[in-house]
Structure 1
Amino acid sequence: MTEKTAPPELRRVTTLLLVNLGLSALLALLFLIFHSVLLDYQAAHIGAGADREALSIGLWSRVGGVVVIGLVYVVLLRRIRAGHRRAFVRVLIISVVSLLGIAYLLSTGQYPVWVEVEQAVQAVVLVALLWAVTRPAVRAHFAAPTAPSAATPPR
């Protein structure tokens, strides 16, 4: 089996994946630093029935999620560079699911403006990633192999 040469556009995909990961890590770090402030903000916006413990668990889960995503991205980036079709599909799925998650987060209004701004920037990166990964050269690089048809004699 011959190895396909990666198109130059694939570099944009890997760069955008790394930028997305960096933004997620930055937000996780800020969640750690401003944990109490964020809890106070959320509790004030939810009202008297706010369960601070549940809110705190939610913030910690975001930080833990970034650690898991970081590990997944290491493997994903290696497989993307190696030309694995499944990695290509996973990038598409991760981008769409992440955009939906950001849309949900922004619609809840439970975070301060600085978090919403960071999430909006991350959404722009994800849209750019979707655009980059769906370019014809990238799609062609990850195209599913076609089996020779019965009507076509082998050469």
Structure 2
Amino acid sequence: MEEQVNAPAQLRHVITLLLANLALSAVLAILFVAFHASLIDYQLAHLGLSAGVDVDGVRAGLSVGLWSRAVAVVIIGVVYSFLIRRLREGRRRAYLRVLVLSVVSLAGIAYLLVSYQYPAWVRVEQVIQAVVLIALLWATTRPAVRAHFARRTVPAA
């Protein structure tokens, strides 16, 4: 509990940005469910399938991919709740996970943006989410936050 009292004010920004990232993911997952058929049609039209390809099989695979995104957001929501609690407790491993999460998520979004797998409105949301992730990475690396989660040294006896 003492760690929580000494937490820097900037930690609140980190947590807010984590929640904003989660909210953006949830909104996109809901939109994926709502516009499921049109998204699959878009993806099929932009795949450049050769003649003789099992379009129904490809459609089924794309459908699974879109549905799995919604399931992933639910799982990420649960993980974030534990992650935020650990951050508030001052756990260094949670801090390191936020750093890794930010970098990996940015890389994933960059890939999706350059691959043009989704229509423009999805890419706009992904750019917004990338901005939130960059802000999260920035907030996480502020000196006060870094110092709060610095590796603790055990004094020699």
Does the pair score TM above 0.5? yes
Which of 114, 117, 122 is residue 129 of structure 2 equivalent to? Answer: 122
Q: Aligned equivalents of 2:122 and 2:128: distance in 1?
A: 10
Match of 2:94 among 87, 90, 100: 87
Q: What aligned pairs does 1:2-151 form with structure 2 within 5 A after superposition?
A: 3=3, 5-48=6-49, 49=53, 50=55, 51-149=58-156
Q: TM-score under structure 2 normalisation?
A: 0.91
Moved more, 1-10 or 22-31: 1-10
Q: Write the letter of the residue equivalent to 1:9.
A: Q
How well do the aligned residues superpose, as a CA RMSD in angstroms? 1.5
C-alpha distance in 1, partners of 2:60/2:40?
Answer: 9
Q: Deviations over 1:60-99 (max 9, x none)?
A: 1111111111110011111111111110000001111100
Find the residue that maps to 2:154 and give its secondary structure: coil
- Alpha-carbon offset, residue 2 of structure 1: 5.3
Q: Which runs of 5+ in 2 are unaligned?
A: none
Identity %: 63
What CA distance in whole angstroms lies between the structure 1 residues aligned with 2:48 and 2:77? 34
Secondary structure at 2:46 match in 1: helix
Instruction: Note the residue ranges of structure 1 that are not aligned, 5 or more in a row.
Output: none
Distance of 1:148 and 1:70 partners within structure 2? 38
| CA deviation vs aligned residue, 1:26-45 (integer Å, no higher than 9, x gap) | 00000000000100100111
